[in-house]
Amino acid sequence: MIIFFSSCKKDADGPYWDTHILGPIINTSLGIDNLLPDSILQENPDSSMKIVYQNNIYTLSMDTLLKIPDTILKKVYMLPVTLTLNPGQVVVNNTAETTYSLPDIQLRTSTIKSGFVRYRVKSYINEITTFTYNIPSAKLNGVPFAVNITIPAAIGETPGISDQIFDLSGYVFDLTGINNDKVNSLYTSVIASISASGQPVLVSYSDSLVVENTFYDMIPYYAKGYFGQNTFDVGPEETEFTLFKRIVDGTIQLEDVNLNFNIRNPVGIDAQLFISNLSSINSRTGTTVNLVNSIINSPININRSSESGGSIYPYSVNYPLTTSNSNIKQMIENLPDKFGYSMQITANPLGNVSGSNDFIYSDNLLDASLDIEIPLSLVANNLTLADTLDLTISGNGSQDVKNGTFTLFADNGFPFDAALQMYLLNDSNNITDSIFSTINIIDEAPVNSNFRVIDKRLTKITVPVNESKMNLLMNTKRMALKVKFNTTLQPQYIKIYSDYSIDVKLVGDINYTVHTK
C-alpha cells in the first residue's frame, strides 16, 4: 500500500498520459470544376466538357476619341464714366458667346458626366455688389444653370472677391451658340448690380469688375457632333488572361481550338482598324506566340452604330480563328497569362459623312474581345495545377504532439496519373515545409476502348511525420496543394467528362502527450 500511494503522489507538473487521435485532416472531392472555374465550363450532349471563355482585349477610351480641355473665360467690365450708383442699380448686363478650342471636333451637344465651373469675381467698387450668373445653354432637367453671388465691397484698392465652385454633373450643354448656328460654342450672361441693401456709391472708370469662369475636369457622358478624322496608335499593350491562372508548370496539347476575334462598335462613328500584332504571352516561361492570320496587317472596316429613341444598335463583326486558318492552337497551348497587341484606329476615315451626327456614350464604347471554345480533349505532360486548402487539425486540452503518420487515400476517376505534393503555409502564405519527402504517384483510372473511364482507382500513400514537422503542422492553418498530371496512352487525346472526379482524403494518426491541470 505504501508503494501504491507513493506512486499516485501528485506530480509537480500534473498528471499526463500518452494517447493518439485518428481522423481526417482533408476530405474533399475534386471535379473538373475545381481545376477550372465552373463559370467557363459547358457540357456537351455526350457529357464531355468544353471551355467557353471570353476575354476582353481592348476598349476604346472616351479620352482617345473626345477630350474636353479645361477652359478659362475671362472678362473685364470697365465703367466708362464717373457717376454715382444707387442701391439696386445695374452695373453690368452682358451676354457673351465663347467658342471652345477643339481641333477637328465639332460638338453640337454634350451631357456632362462630371465636371465643374469655378466662378471667380473681383469687384473694385466700394460697395457690395450682387451677381446673377447664367449659362442659358446648360440645363439640368430642363432648367438653365443660374447662381446668385454676393461680392464684398472693395476696401481702398483691395478688391472684394468671391471664389466659388459649382458642380455641372448631369447638365446638358447646347453648343450651337445663341442662334443655334455654331459648334463648340456656349453662351453665358452676367447681371451685376449694387446691393439693394447698400448705399449710393461713387464709381469711376478705374472701378472695374473682373469675371473669370474656369470649366475644368469636364467628362462627357454623351456627345453629339462630328468627332473629326483622326488616327490613334494603340499599344504595344498587354491585357490579363486568367483562363490558365492555376497552371504553374507543364505543357498541354489540345485536339482543337476555336476562337472568334470580335469587334463591337456602339459608337456613332465609322472606323478602320489595323492590327499589327496580337500575341499570347506566357510570363512564367517567357514564351510569346504571335498570331498568324489574314487579319494581321490588313485593314478592318468598322461601320458606325445607330440610335433611335434612346436605344443604341451596335455594329458587330467577328473573325473566326481556327486551326485551319491560323496558329491559334499553338497560341492557346502556350498557356498564356496575358495577350499583347498593337493596333491603329482611324476615326471617320471617309470624313463627316454623318452630317455632324456622330455620337458617343461613355459607358458604351468600341471594344475588341476573344471568344474561345476549347473541347477538353487533350494530352497533358507534367501539367501542374496549384490551389490552397484550409486545414482542420485541432486538439483538446494542453498537449504535446509527439509524432504521427499521414495516410493519403486518392480514389482517382480521371484518365491520367497525378504526382501529389502538399505544402504547409505560414500566415503570409509562404511555404514552410512539405508533407511528402518523395514523389507520390496517384494511378490513373482505367479506360475502355473509347478511352472513357470505366471505374475509379484507389491509391494509398502512407507518410510518417516526425515530432518537429507535426508541431509545425499543428500551427498551420492553410496548405498548398500541387498536382502534376500526365494523361494516359499518349499521344492519344483524352476527353474529360462531367462525371470525372478524384476523391482525396488525408488521414492523420497523431500521437499526443496530454497534460491536465
444 burial type by CB count under 10 A (0-12 exposed, 13-18 middle, 19+ buried): buried
Distance, in Å, from the CA atom of 24 to the CA atom of 22, rounded to the nearest integer, reads 7
Contact 264, 367 (CB under 8 A): yes
Closest CA to 435 of 412, 477, 407, 409: 407
User: What pLDDT sits at residue 8?
Assistant: 37
Beta strands in 78-157 (DSSP E): 83-85, 90-99, 106-123, 129-140, 143-151
Longest CA–CA separation in the chain, Å? 128
How crowded is the C-beta side of 352, counted as CA atoms within 13 Å?
Answer: 12
Q: Which of 402, 319, 315, 411 is nearest to 365 (CA)?
A: 315
pLDDT at 322: 92
pLDDT (0 to 100) of residue 3: 30
The pLDDT of residue 114: 93
**pLDDT tens string for the chain (517 positions)?**
223 223 334 444 555 445 555 556 667 777 777 666 667 888 888 888 888 888 888 998 888 888 888 888 888 888 777 888 888 888 888 888 888 878 788 999 999 999 999 999 998 888 899 989 899 999 999 999 999 999 999 888 889 999 999 999 999 999 998 888 889 888 888 898 888 888 888 888 778 888 888 889 999 999 999 999 989 899 899 999 888 887 888 888 999 999 999 999 999 999 999 999 999 999 989 999 999 999 999 999 999 999 888 789 999 999 999 999 999 999 999 999 999 999 999 999 999 999 899 999 998 999 999 999 999 888 988 888 777 777 655 444 445 667 778 788 889 888 988 887 778 888 787 888 777 777 778 899 999 988 899 999 999 988 887 777 777 777 777 877 777 888 887 888 988 888 888 888 878 777 666 555 5
Which position has the grid cell 459623312?
353
Place of cell 477630350: 67
> What pLDDT does 17 receive?
46
H helix runs in 191-335, sequence order: 328-333
Query: Which residues are 144's β-sheet partners?
Result: 139
pLDDT, residue 2, reads 29
Helix (H, G, I), strand (E, B) or coil at 315: strand
Q: Which three cell numbers stand for residue 27?
A: 476530405
Residue 24, pLDDT score: 61
Burial call 32-64: b when 16+ CB within 10 Å, e when fewer = beebbeeebbeeeeeebbbbebebebbebebee
Give the C-alpha separation, 305 to 316, whole Å.
9
Backbone φ/ψ region at 88: left (φ over 0), alpha (ψ -120 to 50), beta:
left
The domains of the chain, with CATH numbers, are 13-41+380-515 (2.60.120), 49-60+229-374 (2.60.120), 67-226 (2.60.120)
- Angle at CA 85, nearest 5°, toward 84 and 90? 150
Residue 331 phi, psi (nearest 5): -65, -40
pLDDT reported for residue 464: 83
d(CA 72, CA 211): 10
The C-alpha atoms of residue 47 and residue 36 are separated, in whole angstroms, by 16
Report if pTM > 0.85.
no
End-to-end CA distance of the chain: 26
CA distances (Å), origin 25, targets 21, 197, 271, 476, 477 = 11, 84, 60, 12, 11
Q: How many CA atoms lie within 13 A of 362 on its CB side?
A: 15
Residue 136, preceding bond cis, omega within 30 degrees? Answer: no
Block residue for cell numbers 482517382: 412
How is 272-292 classified by DSSP, letter by letter? EEEEEEEEEEETTTTEEEE--
CB 99 within 8 A of CB 384: no
- In 3-state terms the chain splits into helix, strand, coil percentages (rounded to 5) of 5, 60, 35
Three-class secondary structure of residue 32 per DSSP: helix
**Cell triple for 49:** 466538357
Tell me whether residue 380 is exposed, middle or buried, using C-beta atoms within 10 angstroms of its C-beta: 0 to 12, 13 to 18, 19 or more: buried
